[in-house]
Structure 1
Amino acid sequence: MPPRLLRSSTPLAAAHLRALSAFAPRAGEGAPHLFGGMRPRAPDLLARLPAELVSFARARAAGRAAPSQFSYGNALAACARAPAPALAEQVYCAAWKDGLSGNAYVCTGMVDLLAKSGRLRDALRVFADGDPSSAVCWNAAVSGAVRNGEGGLAVEMFRDMVWGSCEPNSFTYSGALSACAAGEELSVGRAVHGLVLRRDPEYDVFVGTSLVNMYAKCGDMGAAMREFWRMPVRNVVSWTTAIAGFVQDDEPVSAMLLLREMVRNGVAINKYTATSILLACAQMSMVREASQIHGMVLKTEMYLDCVVKEALISTYTNFGFIELSEKVFEEAGTVSNRSIWSAFISGVSNHSLLRSVQLLRRMFHQGLRPNDKCYASVFSSVNSIEFGGQLHSSAIKEGFIHGILVGSALSTMYSRCDNVQDSYKVFEEMQERDGVSWTAMVAGFATHGHSVEAFLTFRNMILDGFKPDHVSLTAILSACNRSECLLKGKEVHGHTLRVYGETTFINDCFISMYSKCQGVQTARRIFDATPCKDQVMWSSMISGYATNGCGEEAISLFQLMVAASIRIDSYICSSILSLCADIARPFYCKPLHGYAIKAGILSDQSVSSSLVKVYSRSGNMDDSRKVFDEISVPDLVAWTTIIDGYAQHGSSQNALAMFDLMVQLGVRPDTVVLVSVLSACSRNGLVEQGFNYFNSMRTAYGVEPELQHYCCMVDLLGRSGRLAEAKYFVDSMPMKPDLMVWSTLVAACRVHDDTVLGRFVENKIREGNYDSGSFATLSNILANSGDWEEVARIRKTMKGVNKEPGWSMV
């Protein structure tokens, strides 16, 4: 027996020790017989036990010959089915007295029972006393480790078995492959596969199915399907495993095609096939296919199975078919099953919080205690802190508050309601945490701008033994959104490379991170060093350049992307079009317009709005209007773009006509489009019309005027020469005027040579310690009036003022 297993084992449970003390032989006296000295009411007890255990107990009580190894094995198997672990310990102690504790049948039965009871260490102690040459004992120990989530231990035991004197069989290989699948250990799984091929090249369907499952769980569906088609015989488990692999790999279409092939081969589906296919239908919103599966289920007894009903409910609620889901839920025999309730509440909570709470109350009224999944589902939909607090109190009363599922959902709820303090308090009170709860807390801190706390939580997560996954990595990198966080981001980058190495997904995450932290050059080095660049990575790098004001580099990279035959989606196309508009590159617009038509993405609102923007920025309002008119239902962004385009190019009447049409069509204006409308009035001197729009902002459109709207009105009055009214308007503003307001008024003073008002504005600008632009404008006003002494004084004042550097393309 491998010494490592003995050293790593922990003592038996207290109940097991008491049983050993009661039944183990002592010096000079024998152990009492199992079930010896029963009281007269013992027949009632025996009537409730399995037949094998009753027969065994009567034989022991009668004092006949010691039972055989098969009798002990059958008795232990009966205890496992009952389940009756306390009686199993007594049976094992009796076997110990008879000298059969190390027998393969007895050892296997006890190891299997203890492992199924969650007592893996006790099972390993029993296994250590067993026969080291028995493959059956090894199989029970390996499968027990897998069942208890100890995949690494199961793989170690398999290695010990292979290196020892015991020859693995099909069940051993299956257990080892299951361990690899559970831990996603693809390299170890391939090694086991190689061992199988060397020792048993004609393996049976049991091992073949385990290989398919291992490769599918480890994300290598190509290898999984090669093994699947290599199998000479495939049963329903084999087909279901392959279908479930496609569903897990987000390939629902492939799963449906494989199901059709399965039916064509005459293999009847079981409940696990049905649940996997229903999940595939939910992923792709395949309503017709889900209805067909429902019909197939109705023709069999599978419809009575709670797992199938739960899958049907989840699928229909995912489609939004609440009535159909409720019909399945209300079927006879389901209203008393808590898993059905939790599935229905979980699905309904995504569509109606009120309805899910009503279902929760209905459970209480029917005498059913909601489980943790019910509470977690409702918490995931709550957006009100008051209502969430009431549900929090209910969860405390039911004793779910310290569980992982409810605790994580509750912490996320408080974070979603902008209460990070209570979110962290719930997180701290959780008795145990998993990777999901840690990730939720990291994301909560990052979302609300608490970068330091997010990094500390992420660090504690690693110290607590949790390996960051892609979700937690995305969460912590969202906290690296400014240059001050660059050093911390590099630390996360280094740790991630040590744990995962370089992958396309990880490199994509760090390209985005470095771009946000003004490290676009580092981002480009990562991009260039990645051998296989996907569409997301190209898009991230282009967005990084655009964010950092590197328009030329972004366009050059886009050209390389086109040359590499990478598909251009609507997001990339709209980003490049907006960039062309911002950096005055209209000559790229026509080719991109043609590509959008060929690719079928012109109907996307973001692409159409970007085309409208770039055409209008280049002064081509005719093409801009043509693109706009081709949009079936323009959104507010498209309306704002076309209105602003007309306003910027002096077509104020067209701009106002488009705005009136937008309001008539029921599109509600926002702050931005009203700025464009007021600017259109200002450029054409439409004072009265401009005031009508300004005064109706609150009443007609429900928009509170902001500083930029007041600035437009000052510009409107200033352009019309009504400077006194403009000054009065500034004085009556409900907020303090900023530099833009004073600069607008200074510009009007220059146009109309109002030196007095210009000096007044000079004092205001000096008091506000503004930049040099307004002083330069005031200096020009005084120069036009011939007051050179004042010009010299203003120029001298400008020496201590901040000057923004400028540049010209000419």
Structure 2
Amino acid sequence: MMEDIVSLSTGHQASNLADNPNMHFSHLLYASNRQLRSAFSTLPRITDPVPQQPRPSPSYLFLDSPTYTKLVQSSTKTGFLIHGKLAHAHMIKTSFKPCLFLLNNLLFMYNKYGEIGYAQNLFDKMLKRNIISYNSLISGYSQMGRYDKVVHAFCQARMAGLKLDKFTYAGALGVCSHTRDVRCGKLIHSLVIVGGLSDQVFLVNSLIDMYSKCSQIEQARLLFETSTVRDEVSWNSLIAGYVRLGFDEEVLELLTKMHQSGLILTTYTLGSVLKACCTKNFNRFGKMLHGYIVKLSLDLDVVVGTALLYMYAKTENLTDAVRIFKFTTHPNVITFNAMIAGFLQTETLSTEYAQEALHLFSEMQRQGMKPSKFTYSSILKACIAVENLDVGKQIHAQICKNNLQSDEFIGSTLVDLYSYSGSVEDGLRCFNSTPKLDVVSWTSMIAGYVQNGHFENALSLFHQLLASGRKPDEFIISSVMGACADMATARSGEQIQSYALKFGIANFTIVQNSQMCMYAKSGDIDLARLTFQEIENPDVVSWSVMICSTGQHGCAKEALQLFELMTASQIEPNQITFLGVLTACSHGGLVEEGLQYFETMKKDYGIAANVKHSACIVDLLGRAGRLEEAEKFVFNSGFEKNPVMWRALLSACRVHKDAAMADRVANTVIELEPQAASSYVLLYNIYHEAGEDKPALEVRKLMQDRGVKKEPGISWIEVGNKVHSFVVGDHSHPMSQLIYSRLEEMLVKIKRSVLNIEKLPLSISKRGMIMNHHSEKLAVTFGIISLPESAPVKVMKNLRVCCDCHTTMKLISEVEKREIILRDVIRFHHFREGSCSCNDYW
């Protein structure tokens, strides 16, 4: 193999190699050269200064600077970054000293494809740099959103004494536009004037854009009016600024002046203005502009027509958007993309609209059009909406066939597709195969982990994101806080909250909503209330989270008061809001109120009851002892085939010890869901507590015969930044001997303090039973040993707490003078001074 490569460096083949880079890549890729592999494996150090060494042995293939330049430029153009890296590795192994032009090409290649670490390493080792080097680095950091690094590179260029050009200043102004830092923007504006570049129309447009995005529209207008150089972009930038700030009259005035100044309102100009009108506030202005376009006979133009379609679709006027689409004589890919995107708007997304989008995608292909990256990214969202993984996999195959799987937008949507379908491993493969990971890709993967219950993996990936130097946005912070909420790890959640405060994203409503949920699920309802009070403009999610949280913590009346405040604030409740209200009524024993809210939801708000709402009503009636009424409701609800309904009724049968109805209900739920262990366990406990041992043993035997395994009870507590887990009779904890000894002391203390033996839990009155060693008792004991006396003991459990443990917790809180907060799979129990917040109604 090496001899074949050496032979390429002579004669006619060498000239072909320079003219045909693909030929060189082929030999580089397939050469089994141990030295090349070694070079590639040490790429993070590829720019280290090469010591003076003797000329390499003839086993190397020698290339000149023009050939290397062509190879790198070809790699940059085609997107095959591996080819460029191999060429760079070959330079190192052959001790080739690249010129500044070649180094700048390498720098541009790494920056373009997000390899900012390699780019910075290469830049640092360059002995000589020019302004192009700095501009390339500034561009790379701008694409990554690392605006602090852009400013640093800009300052380095100034300190190096280089003459900054328009691209350098434009990159710095772009940072000011994104960060809304008008003070820094004004400083750069001064440098532009001092540098004698104020007559560059390119920079004038960047300055207008910066001032308008920083809400300094008067300064932008002044610059526009006093500038001696301006073009269509200048007009469009100022117009977009006025539209963004809601000055529709000024927009009309500028359009008129632009036309009067002799500039032709081209299709691209009108399209740009229409895109700026894609908000509900500018619906009237957009329609006026539509009339003007019709008068100019430009409405049939594919560019303007697509812009009109996009405007109507974004403002949720889908009927008008469809009408424009049908009248477009020669729709192109962009037209189809706009219509597909219109059907997939978040506010109006439904299964019906998603199916329409899929039909349009099929029509595109029938007409012989080649879908773009945007097409595939959008249509994958339609597959998510209709929950059709099979169609999604077919589209994924088309994406791979067209070599588009490396696109970051498509990659993040593929992650969403597989994560929403429960295939988080496939989502991770798509994430790892995306070469240029942006913040959306990280958000999708972290959210996918959280959605599928892989909370520790979500936190681990979040730490990887921080280690990579990327700055997370409010959506990532919200997802990670959601993971902390489900794990009930308040300490980790507090650290993420501190991070959000440090980087100025803690006041986003989506972050505050997740923070509120995190505190509530971690057992601290007071901090959840405080977070809710700090939200400046709470939305429907904010109110719903607070209502659900107070209901789960046993504050039923407070939940109903919050609901009334919500409606008085003109915030319309949704399905989740009513679910929280009904749950609060169920836990609080507010039967009539719950039934009234159930009817209000259907009649006054037009919200159809789903199975969760209906199960709440069954639970509400069942807890109150109205078992026959609850059973009748199940048959009339339309969800009589759903095991959730019958399981709720079965739980009520256990509360009221109705073994006869329990036997009938259990047979129904077991028939509907024969492999669900919870139904068997409930029925077993009902028989066992009623003293009917023979039926109880028959239920256990039936579980064994059918291979149904009960989920083991696990309790956990967070102490000192570490989560400690326990199972029944657990001896794996390092402090297990001390835990059992302390638990025994407390049980003895309880027995001595309680004079009436009938009030004692069964596990204490009959010593030696396994209930003494239930997981929640071990976790609470560990918390009492490890935490200060002033700190409440917060324990989480994956199953419902049993009656014996519930009674024991009340007694422990009394004799130990400690507050105990226990979260089971249903609700929170706050034990204080011998009583529970549920008032034994659970």
TM-score over 0.5 (shorter chain): yes
Helix, strand or coil for the counterpart of 1:287?
coil
Q: TM-score, normalised by structure 2?
A: 0.58
- State which of 245, 250, 258 in structure 1 corresponds to 2:171: 245
Partner of 1:686: 590
Q: Are positions 1:296 and 2:223 aligned together?
A: yes
**Does the aligned pair in 2 maintain the 1:442–1:457 contact within 8 Å?**
no
The alpha-carbon distance between structure 1 residues 427 and 248, as it changes in their structure 2 partners (threshold 3 A), is: farther
Partner of 1:728: 632
- Following superposition, the deviation at residue 368 of structure 1 comes to 4.5
The alpha-carbon distance between structure 1 residues 316 and 739, as it changes in their structure 2 partners (threshold 3 A), is: same
- Following superposition, the deviation at residue 327 of structure 1 comes to 1.1
Helix, strand or coil for the counterpart of 2:625?
coil
- Following superposition, the deviation at residue 310 of structure 1 comes to 2.5
The alpha-carbon distance between structure 1 residues 274 and 460, as it changes in their structure 2 partners (threshold 3 A), is: same
**Does the aligned pair in 2 maintain the 1:372–1:405 contact within 8 Å?**
no
Cα distance in 2 for partners of 1:411, 1:600 equals 35
Helix, strand or coil for the counterpart of 1:803?
coil
The alpha-carbon distance between structure 1 residues 363 and 182, as it changes in their structure 2 partners (threshold 3 A), is: farther
Partner of 1:348: 277
Larger CA deviation: 723-732 vs 625-634:
625-634
Partner of 1:459: 400
Q: TM-score, normalised by structure 1?
A: 0.60
Cα distance in 2 for partners of 1:645, 1:279 equals 44
- Following superposition, the deviation at residue 571 of structure 1 comes to 5.5
- Following superposition, the deviation at residue 762 of structure 1 comes to 3.3
The alpha-carbon distance between structure 1 residues 243 and 774, as it changes in their structure 2 partners (threshold 3 A), is: same
- The residue identity in structure 1 corresponding to 2:276 is G
Cα distance in 1 for partners of 2:466, 2:137 equals 35
Cα distance in 1 for partners of 2:714, 2:78 equals 66
Partner of 1:653: 557
- Following superposition, the deviation at residue 328 of structure 1 comes to 0.8
- Following superposition, the deviation at residue 294 of structure 1 comes to 2.5
The alpha-carbon distance between structure 1 residues 314 and 180, as it changes in their structure 2 partners (threshold 3 A), is: farther
The alpha-carbon distance between structure 1 residues 733 and 333, as it changes in their structure 2 partners (threshold 3 A), is: same
Deviation track 1:168-216 (CA, whole Å, cap 9, x = no partner) reads xxxxx999999997998899999xx9xx999xx9xxxxxx777776666
Q: Are positions 1:395 and 2:301 aligned together?
A: no
Q: Are positions 1:474 and 2:404 aligned together?
A: no
Cα distance in 2 for partners of 1:564, 1:436 equals 27
Q: Are positions 1:377 and 2:307 aligned together?
A: yes
- Following superposition, the deviation at residue 353 of structure 1 comes to 5.3
- Following superposition, the deviation at residue 330 of structure 1 comes to 0.8
Deviation track 1:655-700 (CA, whole Å, cap 9, x = no partner) reads 3233333333333222223233223333343322222222222223
Helix, strand or coil for the counterpart of 1:348?
coil
- The residue identity in structure 1 corresponding to 2:270 is W
- The residue identity in structure 1 corresponding to 2:714 is S
- Following superposition, the deviation at residue 805 of structure 1 comes to 1.7
- The residue identity in structure 2 corresponding to 1:296 is L
Deviation track 1:507-556 (CA, whole Å, cap 9, x = no partner) reads x888777xx6xxxxxxxxxxxxxxxxxxxxxxx4xx67645545567678
The alpha-carbon distance between structure 1 residues 3 and 436, as it changes in their structure 2 partners (threshold 3 A), is: farther
**Does the aligned pair in 2 maintain the 1:225–1:242 contact within 8 Å?**
no
Helix, strand or coil for the counterpart of 2:250?
helix
Helix, strand or coil for the counterpart of 1:696?
helix
- Following superposition, the deviation at residue 367 of structure 1 comes to 4.2
Deviation track 1:22-71 (CA, whole Å, cap 9, x = no partner) reads xxxxxxxxxxxxxxxxxxxxxxxxxxxxxxxxxxxxxxxxxxxxxxxxxx
Cα distance in 1 for partners of 2:500, 2:624 equals 44
Cα distance in 2 for partners of 1:197, 1:614 equals 51
- State which of 423, 427, 444 in structure 1 corresponds to 2:361: 423
**Does the aligned pair in 1 maintain the 2:154–2:172 contact within 8 Å?**
no
- The residue identity in structure 2 corresponding to 1:393 is K
Cα distance in 2 for partners of 1:311, 1:359 equals 18
Q: Are positions 1:366 and 2:293 aligned together?
A: no
Partner of 2:235: 309
Cα distance in 1 for partners of 2:585, 2:293 equals 62
Larger CA deviation: 181-190 vs 723-732:
181-190
**Does the aligned pair in 1 maintain the 2:641–2:672 contact within 8 Å?**
no
- The residue identity in structure 1 corresponding to 2:678 is G
Taking only the aligned residue pairs, the percentage that are identical comes to: 21
For structure 1, which runs of at least 5 residues remain unmatched after alignment? 9-141, 153-172, 202-207, 517-539
- Following superposition, the deviation at residue 420 of structure 1 comes to 1.4
Partner of 1:799: 704
Aligned residues: 596
Cα distance in 1 for partners of 2:381, 2:584 equals 43
The alpha-carbon distance between structure 1 residues 292 and 651, as it changes in their structure 2 partners (threshold 3 A), is: closer
- State which of 159, 178, 202 in structure 2 corresponds to 1:272: 202
Deviation track 1:471-503 (CA, whole Å, cap 9, x = no partner) reads 344344444435658569748856x5xxx5xx6
The alpha-carbon distance between structure 1 residues 300 and 619, as it changes in their structure 2 partners (threshold 3 A), is: closer
Partner of 1:322: 248
**Does the aligned pair in 1 maintain the 2:513–2:542 contact within 8 Å?**
yes
Q: Are positions 1:765 and 2:669 aligned together?
A: yes
Partner of 2:606: 702
Helix, strand or coil for the counterpart of 1:269?
coil
Deviation track 1:211-252 (CA, whole Å, cap 9, x = no partner) reads 7766666669677876677677x6xxx642322333567866
Helix, strand or coil for the counterpart of 1:345?
helix
Q: Are positions 1:742 and 2:671 aligned together?
A: no
- Following superposition, the deviation at residue 709 of structure 1 comes to 2.3
The alpha-carbon distance between structure 1 residues 733 and 280, as it changes in their structure 2 partners (threshold 3 A), is: same
- The residue identity in structure 1 corresponding to 2:293 is M
- Following superposition, the deviation at residue 324 of structure 1 comes to 1.7
Helix, strand or coil for the counterpart of 2:665?
helix
- The residue identity in structure 2 corresponding to 1:691 is L
- The residue identity in structure 2 corresponding to 1:260 is S
RMSD: 5.2
Cα distance in 1 for partners of 2:107, 2:249 equals 42
The alpha-carbon distance between structure 1 residues 430 and 269, as it changes in their structure 2 partners (threshold 3 A), is: farther
- The residue identity in structure 1 corresponding to 2:265 is N
Write the mapping of 1:44-55 to structure 2, written as runs, cut at 5 A. Answer: none
Deviation track 1:243-281 (CA, whole Å, cap 9, x = no partner) reads 233356786656653222122455532322221222334
Cα distance in 2 for partners of 1:368, 1:268 equals 36
The alpha-carbon distance between structure 1 residues 444 and 259, as it changes in their structure 2 partners (threshold 3 A), is: farther
- The residue identity in structure 1 corresponding to 2:640 is K
**Does the aligned pair in 1 maintain the 2:358–2:382 contact within 8 Å?**
yes
Larger CA deviation: 271-280 vs 473-482:
473-482
Partner of 1:625: 529
Cα distance in 2 for partners of 1:688, 1:387 equals 47
- Following superposition, the deviation at residue 607 of structure 1 comes to 4.7
Partner of 2:790: none
Helix, strand or coil for the counterpart of 2:402?
helix
Write the mapping of 1:148-163 to structure 2, written as runs, cut at 5 A. Answer: none
Cα distance in 1 for partners of 2:571, 2:141 equals 47
- Following superposition, the deviation at residue 736 of structure 1 comes to 1.9
Deviation track 1:552-610 (CA, whole Å, cap 9, x = no partner) reads 67678889999999988765665555444433445667777777777766644445444
The alpha-carbon distance between structure 1 residues 469 and 278, as it changes in their structure 2 partners (threshold 3 A), is: farther
The alpha-carbon distance between structure 1 residues 571 and 369, as it changes in their structure 2 partners (threshold 3 A), is: closer
**Does the aligned pair in 2 maintain the 1:411–1:422 contact within 8 Å?**
yes
**Does the aligned pair in 2 maintain the 1:730–1:737 contact within 8 Å?**
no
The alpha-carbon distance between structure 1 residues 309 and 747, as it changes in their structure 2 partners (threshold 3 A), is: closer
- The residue identity in structure 1 corresponding to 2:247 is F
The alpha-carbon distance between structure 1 residues 455 and 588, as it changes in their structure 2 partners (threshold 3 A), is: closer
- The residue identity in structure 1 corresponding to 2:207 is I
- Following superposition, the deviation at residue 298 of structure 1 comes to 1.8
Cα distance in 1 for partners of 2:232, 2:559 equals 61
**Does the aligned pair in 2 maintain the 1:685–1:716 contact within 8 Å?**
yes
Partner of 2:265: 337
The alpha-carbon distance between structure 1 residues 739 and 800, as it changes in their structure 2 partners (threshold 3 A), is: farther
